[in-house]
Amino acid sequence: MVTEAQEHGLQEKAKESIITLNKAAAIQIAEQASSEMSASELVDLIEGGFKAGLMVVGDRFGKGDMFLPELVAAAETMKSSLAILEIKLRESDVTQEPLGKIVIATVKGDLHDIGKTMVSSLLMANGFEVIDLGIDVATLNIIETARKNKADMICLSALLTTTIGAQKEVIDALQEMGRREDFKVMIGGAASSKNWAEEIGADAYGADAQEAAEIALDLSTK
Amino acid sequence: MRTAVPKMGLLDTAAKERIHEASLSILEETGIQIDSQKVAITLQEHDIRCEVTGKQGDRTLWRVKFDRDTIMKSLKTAPKTITLGGRDTKHDLYLDGKGSPDSVYFGTLGSAPVVHDIETGERRLGTLKDLAQFARLTQQLEQLDFFHVSVMPSDVPNSVVELYRWKATFENTAKHSITAASYDAKNLPYLLEMAAVVQGGEDELRRRPIFTATECPIAPLFFAERSAENMVELARAGLPVIIYSEPFAGASSPVTLAGTILVTNAEQLAGIALTQIANPGAPVIYGGVSTTMDIRTGNISFGSPETGLLNVATTEMARFYEMPKEGSGGRTDSKLLDCQAGFEKQGNLLLAVLAGANLNNCAGTLESNYAVSLAQLVIDDDIVKRTKRMLAGIALDEETLAVDLIKEIGPGGQYLGNQHTLTHMRQELCLSDLCSKGTYEDWVKKGSLSLEQMAQKKALELLNFSEPASLEPAAVKELEKILKSAEKMHGIG
C-alpha cells in the first residue's frame, strides 16, 4: 500500500514515461509499483498513468505534433510495462476493464506487417486491449483467439488484392459457426475498400490507422 | 558532334565501395529469410548456408547466408546488357548496364486497384477493360517505351487474375510489358506458354522476351515463397527478372537514406545471387525503387524529395556493378491531376534519368500508385517528352555554335526566317502537345481548356480514332485456350 500522494505521483511519472518514450523509466516504475502497490492501485496506475500517457501521444499524433514512429514506440513502451504489472494482477482477482478487446491480424497468405502494427498502436492509444496475432494468420486461428479471449472486435488487414479473399473467409467462417454476431469485424489494408467491406458483410472499413481507431471507438459504444 | 549531356551523381567511389562491403557483411552475417523449402534445397545443393530458424503458421522459415565469393561470382555472371523484346523488333529495348543515354527508357506503372474514370470522373475499382485501355493508350503514346501493367482488375477470378492481366496486355500493346509474373506458382507455366505464342516460340521468347517479371522482396531482407520460386524458375527459363526492392525509409528500412540504400543493395545482391545460382548468365535487372514513409500518416511517399535521391543512389549502385537498372521515375502522392502531381513527378523523374536509370516506370499513376488515370498517362507522356529533351543535352559544334551566322546577322538583327533556324528548330526545340503556350486570348479562343481537359481530349481521341496494335486472331485464340486450361486446373468455368 502507498499513500494517495505517492500513488498520484507514480501515476504522473508513468504517464510522463510514455509521453517521453522512456522505456527504461516505464519498466522501473512498473517494477516499483508491482512490489509496493495493491492490485486495485495497479489498475488505477495502468488507467491513470500508462494508458493516459498513451492517449496523450495518440492525441498529439492526431494533431500532427507527434509522428507515427513515436506512437509505435509509445505503444511498445506501454506494452513492456503492462507485461510486468500483469504478472501481479493475474495473481489477484481484480479485473481490468478495457474499453474493448480487439484481435488483430494480417490474413492468411499476406506477409505485410507495418500497416497492421500502426493500427494496433493507435487502437492501444485509444484505450483498447489489443491482441496482435502477427502476419499470415490462418482463419481459424483468428476466430479461436477471439473466442477464447472474449474479444469484442476482429480487425483484418490485407495489403494484396490476391489476399483480400481471406478477409471474406473469416467472415464466412464466423457465419457458418453461428458466431457472426459475437464480434464486430473491421477490415483494412491497401487492397481492401469500403465497397469490399460492404460486399463481404464486414461491419466497417478503416482507410488508415486514425480512421480505424475512430471507427473502433464508435463501434465499441454501440 | 560533341554533346554536353547532363549527368547526376551523389556517391563517390569510396561511398559505393562502402555500401558494397556493408551489403556483403549483412548477407554473410545476417543473411536473408526465405520461406521456400524448394529454393532452400536448391541453394544447399550449391553449398549455400541455409538453416531453419522457425515456423510461421505452416511456413518454414529459412535463413540463407551468402559468402563474399558467391556474391562476387554472381555479379560476374549476371549479364551487363540485356535485350527486352517488343512484339516486333521496332519495340525492342536494349538495356546497357553502363547507362548510356540512349539506353534510358520510360513506361507506365501501376497494378493499381483503383481507376479514375476518364469519362465520368468517378473513382472506382479497375476492370479488365480498363487494363486493355491503358495498354492501348500506352501503345499510342510515342514517348513511352514499355508497359508496366497498370491495372489490377477486380472483375476476373482471383486465382487466375495474373493470366487475365497478361492476356489483355499481350493483346493490346506491342510494347515490352512488365509486372509480377504470377501470384500463384502454378500459373507460371501458363504465362510462359502465352508469351511463347506471342513471340513465335520459346527460342524467340528467350532471345527477345516479351515480358519481364518483377519479383518483390518484402523489405527488409525477406523473399517470400512465391517470389523466391518464381525467380528461380524464370532464371532457369532464361527469362528476365527485376528484383523489385521497395523498402520505405522509417518503416521497412532505416529512416536514414544511407541505411535504406544499404537494405536495397543487400536485397539486390541476394536476389542476383538467387538467379545466378539457378542459372548462371540468366538476365536479371537491379530494381531499386526505395522510397520513404510519411511519418505523419504512415503512408508510403513516392513523391518525397528523398525518393528522388534514393533513385539516384540506387542507380549509381547498379552502375557500380554495371547492371541494368529499373527505377521508380516520377511518381506522386497527389489524389488528382494537379500541381502537386506535376512537380513531384517531374522533379523525381528528372533526378532518376540524370543518374541514368534504364527503365523508368511512372506514367499514369496517382495516389502513391494506388490509382491510375488515362488523362494522367497523357500528361506523363508529355513530362517524359520534356525529360528526354533535357537528357539529350546541348549539341556543340561549329554548326550549332553558329559563329558565322551571329556575325553575319549582327546587332539588332533577327533569326526568325533564317535558314539556320529552319534547319535546326525541329530537333533543337521540344514542343508540348498539351501545355498552354500562346497568349491568353488564344487560349480562350480554343475553349479555355485546363491541362486535365486537354489530356482527356487527347486520350479519348487516341483511344477512339487510332489503329490499335491488336494481336493477330489466331494468337488471341491460342491465348484463350491457354487461359481456359489454367481455369480448368483451378476448377473455374
B11 occurs within a structural domain:
no
Touching check for A191 and chain B: CB below 8 Å? Answer: yes
Strands B394-396 and B300-301: unpaired
A40 occurs within a structural domain:
yes
Touching check for A15 and chain B: CB below 8 Å? Answer: no
Alpha-carbon span B11 to B25, nearest angstrom: 20
Global confidence as pTM = 0.91
- The answer to whether the beta carbons of residues B366 and B334 sit under 8 Å apart is yes
Residue-wise pLDDT tens digits, A27-81: 999 999 999 998 889 989 998 999 899 989 988 988 889 998 999 899 889 889 9
Same domain, A110 and A209: yes
Over 80: is that where the pLDDT of B410 sits? yes
Same domain, A53 and A73: yes
A61 occurs within a structural domain:
yes
Confidence class for position B1, pLDDT limits 50, 70, 90: low
Over 80: is that where the pLDDT of A95 sits? no
Alpha-carbon span A83 to B194, nearest angstrom: 56
Confidence class for position A96, pLDDT limits 50, 70, 90: low
Q: Residue B365: CA atoms inside 13 Å, Cβ hemisphere, count?
A: 32
Mean pLDDT value across residues B183-191: 93
Mean pLDDT value across residues B46-74: 93
CATH number at residue B267: 3.20.20.480
Alpha-carbon span B177 to B139, nearest angstrom: 11
Same domain, B291 and B147: yes
Last residue of a domain, one of A64, A91, A118: A91
B94 occurs within a structural domain:
yes
Provide the pLDDT for residue B110.
79
Residue A172 distance to chain B (closest CA, Å):
17
B47 occurs within a structural domain:
no
- The answer to whether the beta carbons of residues B268 and B260 sit under 8 Å apart is no
Alpha-carbon span B102 to A59, nearest angstrom: 52
B485 occurs within a structural domain:
no
Domains in chain A, number: 2
Same domain, B102 and B197: yes
B447: which residues sit within 8 A by CB, 6+ positions away? none
- The answer to whether the beta carbons of residues A110 and A158 sit under 8 Å apart is yes
Same domain, A130 and A203: yes
Mean pLDDT value across residues B432-437: 92
Residue A22 distance to chain B (closest CA, Å):
20
* Residue-averaged pLDDT of chain A: 90
Residue B64 distance to chain A (closest CA, Å):
18
Alpha-carbon span B402 to B412, nearest angstrom: 17
Same domain, B401 and B387: no
Q: CA-CA distances (angstroms) from residue B298 to A67, A68, A114, A116, B292?
A: 9, 6, 9, 11, 10
Same domain, B425 and B319: no
Same domain, A109 and A76: no
B429 occurs within a structural domain:
yes
Same domain, B101 and B192: yes
CA-nearest of B243, B193, B247 to B75 is: B243
Last residue of a domain, one of B392, B424, B451: B392
* Contacting A residues, span 133-152, partner chain B, CB-CB under 8 Å: 134-138, 141
Cβ separation A161–B154 shorter than 8 A:
yes
Cβ separation A137–B57 shorter than 8 A:
yes
Question: What is the torsion angle, in degrees rounded to the nearest 10, for the CA atoms of residue B207, residue B208, residue B210 and residue B215?
Answer: 60
Cβ separation B56–A135 shorter than 8 A:
yes
Same domain, A166 and A57: no
Same domain, A13 and A80: yes
Same domain, B369 and B331: yes
Same domain, B176 and B204: yes
H-helix or E-strand spanning residue A157: strand A153-157
Mean pLDDT value across residues B402-431: 95
* Residue-averaged pLDDT of chain B: 95
Same domain, A180 and A86: no
Last residue of a domain, one of B392, B414, B430: B392
Provide the pLDDT for residue A192.
86
B470 occurs within a structural domain:
no
Last residue of a domain, one of A53, A72, A91: A91
User: Taking CB atoms and an 8 Å cutoff, what residues of chain B touch A136?
Assistant: 56-57, 59
Same domain, B175 and B209: yes
B5 occurs within a structural domain:
no
Alpha-carbon span B1 to B392, nearest angstrom: 13
Residue-wise pLDDT tens digits, B216-240: 999 999 999 999 999 999 999 999 9
Same domain, B450 and B372: no
CA-nearest of B204, B189, B179, B193 to B88 is: B204
Confidence class for position B349, pLDDT limits 50, 70, 90: very high
Among A68, A118, A195, the residue with its CB nearest the CB of B125 is A195
Residue A186 distance to chain B (closest CA, Å):
19
Residues spanned by the domain of B272 = 71-392
CATH number at residue A76: 1.10.1240.10
Looking up cell 524458375 gives B233
CATH number at residue A183: 3.40.50.280
User: Taking CB atoms and an 8 Å cutoff, what residues of chain B touch A108?
Assistant: 57
CA-nearest of B273, B251, B218 to B27 is: B273
Percent of chain A with pLDDT over 90: 56
Provide the pLDDT for residue A93.
73
A15 occurs within a structural domain:
yes
CA-nearest of B80, B88, B81, B358 to B208 is: B88
Q: What does residue B56 show for φ and ψ, rounded to 5 degrees?
A: -135, 110
- The answer to whether the beta carbons of residues B109 and B310 sit under 8 Å apart is no
Over 90: is that where the pLDDT of B198 sits? yes
Same domain, A164 and A70: no
Last residue of a domain, one of A58, A91, A124: A91
Same domain, A31 and A134: no
> What was the ipTM of the complex prediction?
0.82
Q: Which of A83-92, B12-21, B62-71, B394-403 has the lowest mean pLDDT?
A: A83-92
A79 occurs within a structural domain:
yes
CA closest to B249 among chain A residues: A69
Cβ separation A134–B295 shorter than 8 A:
no
Same domain, A35 and A84: yes
Same domain, A82 and A34: yes
- Buried b / exposed e across B325-346, counting CB within 10 Å, b at 16+? bbbbbbbbbbebbeeebbebbb
Residue-wise pLDDT tens digits, B67-111: 999 999 999 999 999 999 999 999 999 999 987 878 999 999 979
- The answer to whether the beta carbons of residues B249 and B256 sit under 8 Å apart is yes
A181 occurs within a structural domain:
yes
- The answer to whether the beta carbons of residues A58 and A128 sit under 8 Å apart is no
A172 occurs within a structural domain:
yes
Instruction: Please report, in angstroms and rounded to a whole number, the separation of the first and last CA atoms in chain B.
Output: 62
Same domain, B277 and B404: no
Instruction: Tell whether the torsion through CA atoms of B391, B147, B216 and B82 is positive or negative.
Output: negative
Cβ separation A162–B255 shorter than 8 A:
no
Over 70: is that where the pLDDT of A222 sits? no
Same domain, B404 and B270: no
Looking up cell 505485410 gives A112
Provide the pLDDT for residue A1.
63
Q: CA-CA distances (angstroms) from residue B312 to A91, B261, B289, B348, B352?
A: 58, 10, 10, 9, 5
Same domain, B316 and B426: no
Determine the residue type at B217: P
B4 occurs within a structural domain:
no
Alpha-carbon span B362 to A136, nearest angstrom: 30
Touching check for B224 and chain A: CB below 8 Å? Answer: yes
Same domain, A22 and A105: no
- Per the structure block, which three cell numbers stand in for B318? 547498379
Domains in chain B, number: 2
Alpha-carbon span B204 to B222, nearest angstrom: 33
Residues spanned by the domain of A76 = 4-91
Mean pLDDT value across residues A132-161: 93
Cβ separation A111–B57 shorter than 8 A:
no
